[in-house]
């Protein structure tokens, strides 16, 4: 099977019939970048590498010739919207809901927003689905707060898709193609969904970071927790903790966990998630990870294990140097970018640490992205 929008959309690097060769490409890339640091295991493939995305988003434009609202995705290299009815990576139900919304927009005469003329109303749709819970959130991103006939619109949408558990309106008044605005209003349901990962429950709000491939995320987190080999007595630090996922799972087999995260809303979700999972031995601090770890090292605080899961840019030099001062027995580095991972491993393994095992997990089949876990131990 080939995707017709392959080159235009730009999200995928490999065609849909190329799973084996892309795994070989990814393996080769991590071997080249990382084998000098330690043993590189074979990448863990996805059993069924299709329809894995539990977060699906689209933008709209009006096709004046066909007199129809069209949905699609922003081309990765431009602001152009590439029409898409079905994407082989998206959750199927999410794509169906988008097609229904597109039809409803025409029926309700809701004009799509045009970024060039700054006119129109309907900007984007974001759908998030709980893999295990089955809960579905639809976020309707609009250019202004006043949503004409919103109750009837939501009613019509729920009539077509009774499986939707919550609908949120997000208002994005910016003139950029930033996806979400600052303000949200709940139109139906509780305004968020929940999902279960590694037997813990997590809240997913419209803007919170949550891995997009739940099947492989569970494998990734289990690998990371396994590498930590916690016995119940350890002090654990979870750097770049997002909504607290890794720390909360680890807290079940550790003495105490401290999570640090820069994003205020993520920290709020992390605190709620900890309560929901009855974890009383985990604490979160809203701060720059480098700043906090530097202070902890200065105060000679002791941590046995540090999980670190930085964004694509990797960790800052200040973070790495402070981590070396903190001297945990183990560092479990979870990375979404092998290039910055290699750069950071250079610093960490220069004297103090040894990379014992390097394991990639194919979290984003058909795209070029590679997720990797590295277990480092103090020499």
Nearest partner of 79 among 125, 116, 25, judged by Cα: 116
Give the DSSP H/E element, type plus range, for residue 73: strand 68-74
State the residue for tokens 């605080």.
301
Using CB under 6 A as the binding criterion, the count of chain residues that bind ligand SAH stands at 16
Nearest partner of 304 among 268, 331, 343, 266, judged by Cα: 331
In 10 A of CB 376, how many CB atoms?
27
Q: Does the protein bind ligand SAH through residue 288 (CB under 6 A)?
A: yes
Question: Whole-number minimum distance, CB 20 to ligand SAH, in Å?
Answer: 28
**Shortest-Cβ-distance residue relative to ligand SAH:** 242
* Residues in region 334-363 near ligand SAH by CB under 6 A: none
Q: Does the protein bind ligand SAH through residue 262 (CB under 6 A)?
A: yes
| Structure token digits, residue 315 | 């960790």
Query: What is the rounded CA–CA span in Å between residue 248 and residue 237?
Result: 11
Catalytic residue among 69, 87, 200, 336: 336
* Residues in region 189-248 near ligand SAH by CB under 6 A: 209, 211, 240-242, 245-246
Q: Which of 46, 105, 250, 289 binds ligand SAH (CB under 6 A)?
A: 289
229 conformational bin, left if phi > 0, alpha if psi -120 to 50, beta if neither: left
Question: Whole-number minimum distance, CB 84 to ligand SAH, in Å?
Answer: 26
Question: Whole-number minimum distance, CB 111 to ligand SAH, in Å?
Answer: 34
Question: Which sign does the torsion angle of CA 83, 62, 80, 125 carry?
Answer: negative
Q: Is 336 a catalytic residue?
A: yes
Stretch that binds ligand SAH, among 7-15, 45-53, 99-107, 260-268 (CB under 6 A): 260-268
CB of 104 or CB of 258, closer to ligand SAH: 258
In 10 A of CB 141, how many CB atoms?
25
CB of 70 or CB of 260, closer to ligand SAH: 260
Q: Which of 40, 101, 266, 345 binds ligand SAH (CB under 6 A)?
A: 266
Q: Are strands 353-361 and 330-335 parallel, antiparallel or unpaired?
A: unpaired
Question: Whole-number minimum distance, CB 26 to ligand SAH, in Å?
Answer: 20
Distances (CA, A) of 287 to 21, 81, 334, 340: 41, 36, 19, 22
Distances (CA, A) of 222 to 58, 197, 219, 245, 253: 31, 10, 5, 12, 13
Q: Which of 218, 261, 304, 344 binds ligand SAH (CB under 6 A)?
A: 261
CB of 113 or CB of 319, closer to ligand SAH: 319
CB of 5 or CB of 245, closer to ligand SAH: 245
Stretch that binds ligand SAH, among 33-41, 91-99, 120-128, 262-270 (CB under 6 A): 262-270
Q: Which of 309, 344, 362, 371 binds ligand SAH (CB under 6 A)?
A: 309
| Structure token digits, residue 109 | 């005469």
Stretch that binds ligand SAH, among 62-70, 140-148, 155-163, 254-262 (CB under 6 A): 254-262
Question: Which active-site residues does the annotation give?
Answer: 336
Q: Which residues bind ligand SAH (CB under 6 A)?
A: 209, 211, 240-242, 245-246, 260-263, 266, 288-289, 309, 311
């Amino acid at each position: 099977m080939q995707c017709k929008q392959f080159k235009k959309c730009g999200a995928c690097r490999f065609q849909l019939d190329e799973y084996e060769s892309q795994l070989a490409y990814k393996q080769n890339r991590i071997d080249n970048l990382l084998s000098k640091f330690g043993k590189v295991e074979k990448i863990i493939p996805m059993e069924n590498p299709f329809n894995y995305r539990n977060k699906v988003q689209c933008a709209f434009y009006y096709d004046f010739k066909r007199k129809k609202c069209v949905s699609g995705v922003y081309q990765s290299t431009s602001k152009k919207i590439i029409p898409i009815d079905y994407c082989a990576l998206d959750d199927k139900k999410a794509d169906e809901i988008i097609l229904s919304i597109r039809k409803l927009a025409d029926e309700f005469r809701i004009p799509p927003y045009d970024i060039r003329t700054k006119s129109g109303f309907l900007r984007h749709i974001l759908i998030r689905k709980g893999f295990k819970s089955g809960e579905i959130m639809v976020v309707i991103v609009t250019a202004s707060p006043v949503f004409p006939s919103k109750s009837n619109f939501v009613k019509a949408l729920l009539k077509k898709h009774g499986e939707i558990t919550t609908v949120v309106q997000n208002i994005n008044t910016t003139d950029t193609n930033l996806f979400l605005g600052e303000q949200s209003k709940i139109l139906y349901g509780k305004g968020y969904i929940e999902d279960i990962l590694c037997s813990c429950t997590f809240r997913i709000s419209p803007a919170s970071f949550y891995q997009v491939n739940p099947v492989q995320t569970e494998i990734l987190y289990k690998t990371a927790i396994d590498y930590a080999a916690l016995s119940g007595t350890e002090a654990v630090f979870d750097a770049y903790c997002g909504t607290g996922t890794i720390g909360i799972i680890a807290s079940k087999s550790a003495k105490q966990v401290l999570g640090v995260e820069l994003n205020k809303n993520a920290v709020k979700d992390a605190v709620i998630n900890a309560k929901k999972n009855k974890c009383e031995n985990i604490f979160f601090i809203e701060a720059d990870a480098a700043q906090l770890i530097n202070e902890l090292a200065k105060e000679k605080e002791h941590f046995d294990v540090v999980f670190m899961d930085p964004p694509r840019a990797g960790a800052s030099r200040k973070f790495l140097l402070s981590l070396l001062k903190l001297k945990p027995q183990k560092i479990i580095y979870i990375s979404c970018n092998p290039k910055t991972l290699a750069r950071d491993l250079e610093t960490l393994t220069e004297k103090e640490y040894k990379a014992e095992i390097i394991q990639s997990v194919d979290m984003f089949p058909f795209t070029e992205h590679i997720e990797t876990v590295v277990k480092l131990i103090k020499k």
